[in-house]
Structure 1
Amino acid sequence: MQEVLFLIPALPLMGFLILSLAGRHLSKQVIAVVGAGVVCIAAIVTIWLGINFLQAPPENGAYTETLWRWMSVANFNCSFSFRIDALSLVFLFVITFVGALIHIYSAGFMKHDRDYARFFASMNLFVCAMLILVMADNLVLLYLGWEGVGLCSYLLIGFWYETTANVHAANKAFYITRIGDTAMAIGLFLLFRELGTLDIPAIQKAAPEHFIKSSPLITSIALLLLAGGMGKSAQVPLQTWLPDAMAGPSPVSALIHAATMVTAGVYLVARMHAVFQLSPFVMNITAVVGAVTLLIAGCSAMVQTDIKRILAYSTISQVGYMFLALGVGAWSAGIFHFFTHAFFKALLFLAAGAVIESLHHEHGIFKMGGLKNKLPIVFYTFLAGAAALAALPFVSAGFFSKDQILWYAWSANGGNPLLWLVALAGAFITAFYTTRLMLVVFWGEIKTDISEPPGRLMTWPLIILALLSIVAGFIEWPHNLMHVTLFSDVVQKALPPLTEKDIVPSEYIFQLIAVAATLTGIYTGYLLYKKNTAIVAKWKEVPALVGLRNFFFSGWRFDQLYHTLFVRPFMFVTSLNKQDVIDKIYTGIVSIFQWLNGIFSVSQDGSVRTYVISVLIGIIFILALQFFL
C-alpha cells in the first residue's frame, strides 16, 4: 500500500499544474472535469487505502513512503516522505471526500465566473497543500503544507480582487496567521536543537525521554506550537481573520472552514501530543483558549446579520470545542467532533451559498425569508446541518460528538466544572443562534425574489452531506447508553488514552442537562424570532442592550483593540522614521539620476538629422582613437 501514498497529494497537484498552465485554452466543462475529477480520484484512493488499513492494519500502525532525500546539511537530514496512521487517515478522508463534494458543487456555483480555471487551480493547490500537511512524516514537510494552505487561503479569500474589501480580507488572513506561523517555526528550531531531529515518530519517542516534565523549555516549545495552531484555527486572540475571510466564494468558505485550513491547528496539537503532554500548564492553556473562544465566538454569532458571518463565528466556536477537548486530554473526542463538524459545516456553507446565489447574491438574513417552500432541497439539507450544529439529541451527528466533549470537560483529568459550564453555555448559545438563522431565512414572508434555483451539481453534494450530518455520529455512542466505539477504537491507536477522574457524578445527569440546554436554546430562538418577535423590538429600545449587541456584533472589538495597540503605534513610528538618514541617501541617488536624465534627454529631440550627425561624430571619434593609439 505504501507505493500509492504519493498519488493522494499528487493528483490535486497535477490538476493545479494543468489548469494553471493550460486553463485559458480549455473549455469550462473540461476545467470542471479536471478540477473536480482529480480530487474525486484522490478521495477514491483514500477510501481504498482506508479500507485496507482497517482490514489489515500495518505492523507499526502506519503506512510510510519515502520519495527522495530532501535536505542533508551537517547533522540535519530531511526526506520528502509520507506517513499515514489512524489520525492522519481521518483527516485524509475528510479533506478528499468533503473536498471532492465541494469541488463538484463549485462546478455549478462558479459556472458564470470568468476566472473559472484560476479558481479550480487554486482549490486544487489548496487541497494538495493540506494533504501534504497531514501526510508529512516530518515537521519540515508539515510546515511546507502549513505555509501552502496559508498561501492558498490568501489567493482564494481575495479571489474577487476587484473589490478592495476582499483584498483587505485576504491580507488580514495572511498577516494574522503569520504570527502563529512564526511562533511555530521558532518551536521547530527549539525542537531540533534539543532532539536533533524533526521526524515526527522520532520526536514522539524521544521527547518523553529527553525533556523534564513541566520544565520551562518544554513549556516554551509547546506554547510556540500552540500559537501556531491558534493562528491557523482562528482561536482567541488570533481569530479576527476568519469572519472577514467570508469575502471569498462560498465553496472557498466551505473548504477553509470544514475540511482544510481551520482544522490544521487541531491536527498539529493532536499530532504533537507527546510534546503537549509533557506540559500540563500548556494543556490547561489549550483548554482555556478553546473555552474562551467558543464563548466569545458564540456570542458574536448570535447578533450577526450576514448568513456567512454567522457560520464563520460558528466555526470559530466549534473549533474551540475541539481545542477544549484536546486540552483536557480527550483526544479522540476532539477528533471525533472535527469529523462530524466537517460534514455539517461544509453543508451549511454550501447551502448558504445556494441561498445567496438564488437571491441575487444577497447575504443579509433579514432580507431573506419564506424560502422553506421556494427552495425545498436547500431547506431540508440546511435543516439537517442546523440540527447537527445545534446538537439536536439523538438525531444529528453533532449531538454525539459534542456530548462527549461536554462530559469530558468535567470528568477527564484535565477537566473542571468551570470548563464544563462554559461549554454548556456554548451549547445553549449555539442552539439559539442556529434556530434564529433557520427561522429568519426559511420562515416568514419572502423579502427577495428568487432568481434561479440551484442545479443538480449544487444539490447532490448537499444531499450527501445532509445524510452524513445525521448518520455520521452513530459510529460513536456515549458509553453509558450503548457500547459502540467504532471511531475511537481506530483513532486511539495513534493517540494517548483518556484518563478520567476517580470520582465523578453520573453521566446521565450531565447528558440530561446538556439536552435541556440545547432544547432551551432552540425554544428561546423560537420564542424571540417566531412566536413573540415584539420582545426583540423592545430590546432594541434599551440603550444598554443595544450597546451590548453592538459589542458582540463587532467581534468583541478585537479589531479596534489591535488597531489601537499595534497598528497606530507602528504607523506613528514609521511616520517618524520616514525622513531618516538612510532615506535621504536613496533620495539623493534618485535626485542625481533625475538630474542626469534631464541633461541627457536634451539629445533626444526627435530629429533624425541630429541622430545621424551624432552617430557620425561617434564613428569619427572611435576611428581617431584607433589611429592615434
Structure 2
Amino acid sequence: MHQTLSLIPALPLAGFLILSLLGRRLPNRLVALIGAGVISAAAIIAIWLGISFLQAPPDSGAYSVELWRWMSVANFNCSFSLHVDALSLVFVFVITFVGALIHIYSAGFMKHDRDYARFFASMNLFVCAMLLLVMADNLVLLYLGWEGVGLCSYLLIGFWYETTANVQAANKAFYITRVGDTAMAIGFFLLFRELGTLDIPAIQKLAPEHFTSGSPIITAIALLLLAGGMGKSAQVPLQTWLPDAMAGPSPVSALIHAATMVTAGVYLVARMHVLFQLSPLVMSITAVIGALTLFIAGCSAMVQTDIKRILAYSTISQVGYMFLALGVGAWSAGVFHFFTHAFFKALLFLAAGAVIESLHHEHGIFKMGGLKNKMPLVFYTFLAGAAALAALPLITAGFFSKDQVLWYALSANGGNPLLWIVALLGAFITAFYTTRLMLVVFWGTEKTHVGELPGRLMTLPLVILAILSICAGFIEWPHNMLHITLFSDLVQKVLPPVVEAEPVPSEALFQLIAVVATFSGVFVGYLLYRKNTSIIESWKQTPAMVWLRDFFYTGWKFDELYNILFVRPFVFITQLNKQDVIDKIYAGIVSLFQRLNGIFSVSQDGSVRTYVIGVLIGIIFILALQLIL
C-alpha cells in the first residue's frame, strides 16, 4: 500500500519528464497516450486506494510513507513524506479523476496545436504539483507543491505566448498569487518558531497545547495562512487574476477552476483547521471574505459577455461559498461543495470549450445562439452543469452542497443572519446569470455558423461529468429529508463536526426560502433574456444602469484601484531611482572602458601594412633592450 501511495504523484511526474525530454520526437497520438494515460493510471490507483480506505480504514486513520529524508539542519528535520487521510483522499480523487477526464478531452481539443507535447507535459506537472500539495505530510513539501502549482499556472495561462495579452495574464496571475504565497511563507516561519516543527500531524497535536485561543501570535499566523489561501483561491481582494487567466486553453481553465489551483486555498484552510479554530477573529474574517467574494464575483458574472469569463467569475463566487462555510465552522460542508463543484465546473468549462471550438474560436455569447439543435449533446451536458451551478433542488449535485452552506451560514455557531442573507442573494444571482448564459448561447437564432462538431474524445468526458453533476450530491442529504451523511461521515474523521447555535431555526422554512430565491433568479433571467428583452434595451438608455453595468463588468474597478495604489507609485519610484548613486558608479566604469576601447581601437584600422610595421617595431624594440641590458 505504501509503495502504491507514492505512485499517485510519481506517474504524472514521469509523464512530465518523458514528454519534456522526448515529446517533440514522438507522434501526437503517443504524446496524448502518455499524457492522458499516466493521469488515468493515477486515478485508477486513487480509486482503488479509496475503496481500500473505506473497507478497512487504517488504525492511524491515514496511509503514510516516508520516501527519504529531505533535509536536516540544526534542529530542523524534514522528510519527503506522503500522508493520505479522509480529507486528502477526497482531494486526491477529484484531482486525478477530473484531471484524467480533462486530459482525455485535451487530446481532441489540442490536436491541431503545434506545441502538443509541451501542453501535456505542463498539464502533467500541474497535476503532480497539486497531488504533492494535498498529500504532503509537512508544510515544506506542501509549499513545494504550492509553488509548483503557481509555476504551472504561469506556463499554461500563457501557453499561447505569441499573443501579448496572454503573457500579461500569466504575469498577472504569478504576481498576485505571489502576494499570498509570501504571506503564507512568513506564517510558516512563525509557526516553526513557536512549535519547532512543520510536520502537519505534530502541528495539529501541539497547537492546542501551545497557543492560547485568540492570542495575537496565533491570530497573526492564521491571518498569514488565510492570505495564502486567498491568493491561490482568488478571494477578495486577491481575485483579479482569475478572470484574465481565461487566456489559456479551455482544458487549462477547467483544470485550474475545478481540480487544482483555485481549490488549493480551500484545502489549506481545511487542513490547518486547528490553527483557525484557535482564532475566532480569523474565522469570522474568513466567513466575511467568503461572503463578500461570492457577492462581488456574482454581480460581475451577471454582465460579462465572454463565455469563459462568466464561468471564471462564477468560480470565484462558488469558492467564496466554500470559504464562507469554512469560516462559520461548517468544515465538511465547505469540502462537500468543493467536491460537487469540481464536477459541474469542469463540465461547464469543457462544454464551453467545445462551443468555442465549433464556432471558430468565438467567445462572445451574443455572437452565439441557436445551438440547442445544432449541438444537442453539448447542450444537454451544458444544461446539466448549469442546473447544478444554479442549484436546482433535489435533482442536481449543486443543490445538496449549496443547501448545506446556506443552512450553516445561519445555524452554525459562527454564522449569523447577515451572512445568510448575502449567501441567499448570491444564490439568486447565480441562478440569474446561469439562466442568462443558457438562453443567450443555446436559444434564439444562430449568429455564427457551426463548424466541426467535437469528437468522442471531447464528448465522452462531458457525458461522465454531466452524470456526476446530477448524481454526486446524493451521498449527502439535508438532515430534515433523509439521513444519508456518507460524505460528512468520511471527512469528519479528520475535520471537526459543525457546532450549531441555539436555538436552531426551522431548517425546512429556510430551505424553502432558498428554493424560492433560486427559481426567482431563473424566472428573472427568463423574463429579461427571453420573454421581454425590451427591458434590457431600455436599461441601456439609463445612465445610472449603464454606469452600474460597467462597474460590474470591470470587476468592481479593482484593477483600476490597484493601478492607482500600487502600480503607478511603484513605476514612479523606479523612475526616480533609475539614476541613483550606485548606478552612476557602474555607469562610470562602463564609460571608462568605452573611452579606453576608443583609444586602443585606433591601432586596429584593418591595414595589413600597419600591422607589419607594428610587429617590426616591436621586434626592434625587444632586440634593442637585449643589447642594452
1:158-237 pair list within 5 angstroms: 158-237=158-237
Aligned length: 629
Which whole-Å CA distance do the structure 2 matches of 1:345 and 1:53 have between them? 27
Matched residues, percent identical?
A: 83
Q: Which residue in 1 is equivalent to 2:508?
A: 508
Residue 261 in structure 1 maps to residue 261 in structure 2: yes
Which whole-Å CA distance do the structure 2 matches of 1:11 and 1:78 have between them? 23
Q: Which residue in 2 is equivalent to 1:46?
A: 46
Counterparts in 2 of 1:111 and 1:600: CA distance versus 1, 3 Å: farther
Q: Matched residue of 1:303: which SS?
A: coil
User: Which amino acid in structure 1 is aligned with residue 527 of structure 2?
Assistant: L
Q: Matched residue of 2:391: which SS?
A: coil
Which whole-Å CA distance do the structure 2 matches of 1:621 and 1:40 have between them? 80
Q: Matched residue of 2:374: which SS?
A: coil
Counterparts in 2 of 1:468 and 1:612: CA distance versus 1, 3 Å: farther
Q: Which residue in 1 is equivalent to 2:421?
A: 421
Q: Matched residue of 1:372: which SS?
A: helix
**CA deviation string 1:530-554 (max 9, x = no partner):** 0110010011111001100000000
User: Which amino acid in structure 2 is aligned with residue 9 of structure 1?
Assistant: P
Q: Matched residue of 1:81: which SS?
A: strand
Report how far residue 376 of structure 1 moved. 0.7
TM (normalized to structure 2)? 0.98
**CA deviation string 1:79-116 (max 9, x = no partner):** 00000000000000000000000011111111111111
Q: Matched residue of 1:373: which SS?
A: helix
Report how far residue 24 of structure 1 moved. 1.1
Q: Which residue in 2 is equivalent to 1:470?
A: 470
Report how far residue 623 of structure 1 moved. 9.3
**CA deviation string 1:573-603 (max 9, x = no partner):** 1121111111111111221222233334344
User: Which amino acid in structure 1 is aligned with residue 564 of structure 2?
Assistant: T
User: Which amino acid in structure 2 is aligned with residue 241 of structure 1?
Assistant: W
Which whole-Å CA distance do the structure 2 matches of 1:489 and 1:573 have between them? 55
Report how far residue 140 of structure 1 moved. 0.4
Report how far residue 609 of structure 1 moved. 6.0
Q: Matched residue of 2:373: which SS?
A: coil
Which whole-Å CA distance do the structure 2 matches of 1:621 and 1:345 have between them? 85
Q: Tell me which moved more, 235-244 or 448-457.
A: 448-457
Q: Matched residue of 1:281: which SS?
A: helix
Q: Matched residue of 1:502: which SS?
A: coil
Report how far residue 572 of structure 1 moved. 1.4
Q: Which residue in 2 is equivalent to 1:367?
A: 367
User: Which amino acid in structure 2 is aligned with residue 455 of structure 1?
Assistant: G
Q: Matched residue of 1:5: which SS?
A: helix
**CA deviation string 1:191-216 (max 9, x = no partner):** 00000000000000000000000001
Which whole-Å CA distance do the structure 2 matches of 1:4 and 1:529 have between them? 52
Q: Matched residue of 2:237: which SS?
A: coil
**CA deviation string 1:503-529 (max 9, x = no partner):** 121100011001000000001100000
Name stretches of at least 5 consecutive residues in structure 2 with no aligned partner. Answer: none
**CA deviation string 1:131-179 (max 9, x = no partner):** 0000000000000000100011011101111111111100000000000
**CA deviation string 1:318-346 (max 9, x = no partner):** 00000000000000000000000000000
User: Which amino acid in structure 2 is aligned with residue 228 of structure 1?
Assistant: G
Which whole-Å CA distance do the structure 2 matches of 1:112 and 1:81 have between them? 40
Residue 597 in structure 1 maps to residue 592 in structure 2: no
**CA deviation string 1:438-488 (max 9, x = no partner):** 000000010001121111111111111001000000010001100111111
Q: Tell me which moved more, 566-575 or 413-422.
A: 566-575
Q: Which residue in 1 is equivalent to 2:84?
A: 84
Q: Which residue in 1 is equivalent to 2:409?
A: 409
Which whole-Å CA distance do the structure 1 matches of 2:283 and 2:398 have between them? 24
Report how far residue 406 of structure 1 moved. 0.3
1:425-436 pair list within 5 angstroms: 425-436=425-436
Report how far residue 402 of structure 1 moved. 0.1
Which whole-Å CA distance do the structure 1 matches of 2:121 and 2:375 have between them? 31
What RMSD over aligned residues (CA atoms) do the two structures have, in Å?
A: 1.6
**CA deviation string 1:263-310 (max 9, x = no partner):** 000000000000000001100000000000000000000000000000
Name stretches of at least 5 consecutive residues in structure 1 with no aligned partner. Answer: none
Q: Which residue in 2 is equivalent to 1:34?
A: 34
Q: Which residue in 1 is equivalent to 2:16?
A: 16
1:343-492 pair list within 5 angstroms: 343-492=343-492
Counterparts in 2 of 1:478 and 1:609: CA distance versus 1, 3 Å: farther
Report how far residue 608 of structure 1 moved. 5.6
Counterparts in 2 of 1:588 and 1:326: CA distance versus 1, 3 Å: same
User: Which amino acid in structure 2 is aligned with residue 310 of structure 1?
Assistant: I
Q: Which residue in 2 is equivalent to 1:566?
A: 566
Which whole-Å CA distance do the structure 1 matches of 2:372 and 2:411 have between them? 41
Q: Matched residue of 2:64: which SS?
A: strand
1:579-598 pair list within 5 angstroms: 579-598=579-598
Q: Which residue in 2 is equivalent to 1:139?
A: 139
